[in-house]
Amino acid sequence: MGHRRRAMDAYLARPARPGRYPSVVIAFQLFGLDAHVRALADRVAALGYLAIVPDLYHRTEPRAELAMDEGGRRRGFALLRRLTRDEVLRDAASTVEYLRRAAGVGQAHTHHRLSILWEWRGGYAEGLDHARQALDLFPYCQQSLTLHQELGDREGQASTWDSLGYAHHHLGHHAQARACYQHALTLYRDLGRLYEEANTLTKLGETHHTTGNHQAARTAWQHALTILTDIDHPDADTVRTKLHHLDT
């Protein structure tokens, strides 16, 4: 987020499962974006909310984490006195705008996942309907990527790259789809998100298969199958079926 060319950082905590959730804006105490307020945001997220703590000290002492002692209190009051009402209101408005955009992205992610689920279950008409709705929200994904990058939210970046890949695939932009999926894979691997990595590999295989590169599709699907088998996930059967069809 930004204001007058100054970046405003924030701490963002999200529920463990993807989906649409109500949002909560949390204001920190005197001590800035410290471990206490981050833990509070994590607890709020665990209750089923998207919790965000904007860094209201970003103009004077970005990402301040003051000690909870007398010295920290004195420094906190000094920083607090440098804030103006208008600045706080503008920062709050920027935070709400971020959450509004994130809600649009959440809708895109949800339709994206529903489309895949229906396709895997054989409900192609329902899957196509959700795919079209995801594509309608494509601009939100592009905006979201910039916002997640500004916040340093790597999981959000990975999920958005994955959704952009899916959108490009259905738009027929297969080279762009492959590039987006590769970005998502790099982040998911760094984060250790095995199921998400396997899910993206499965979609990357679909893109390769659509363009006639069956060997690349096989490689992606075999890698996905290995991960899904290792974590004992039922989606492994779906990927086995894809590999079987390549051999027939």
pTM over 0.95? The answer is no
Cα 173 from chain centroid (whole Å): 22
Q: What is the pLDDT of residue 236?
A: 92
Here the tokens at position 29 are 């105490």
Supply the DSSP string of 18-56, one letter for each residue. Answer: -S---EEE----TTBS-HHHHHHHHHHHHTT-EEEEE-T
Q: What is the pLDDT of residue 120?
A: 43
Q: What is the pLDDT of residue 17?
A: 77
Q: How far apart (Å, rounded) are the C-alpha atoms in residues 90 and 86?
A: 6
Give, for all 248 residues of the chain, the pLDDT tens digit.
Answer: 433 335 678 888 888 876 667 788 888 878 888 998 899 889 888 888 888 888 888 889 888 899 888 888 889 889 988 888 788 888 887 787 777 666 555 444 444 444 444 444 444 444 445 445 555 555 556 666 676 676 677 877 888 788 788 878 877 889 999 999 999 999 999 999 899 999 999 999 999 999 999 999 999 999 999 999 999 988 899 999 999 988 77
Beta bridge partners of 25: 52
* Pairing assessment for the beta strands 2-3 and 6-7 based on DSSP bridges: antiparallel
Reference 52, options 143, 147, 192, 138; nearest CA is: 147
Q: What is the pLDDT of residue 214?
A: 95
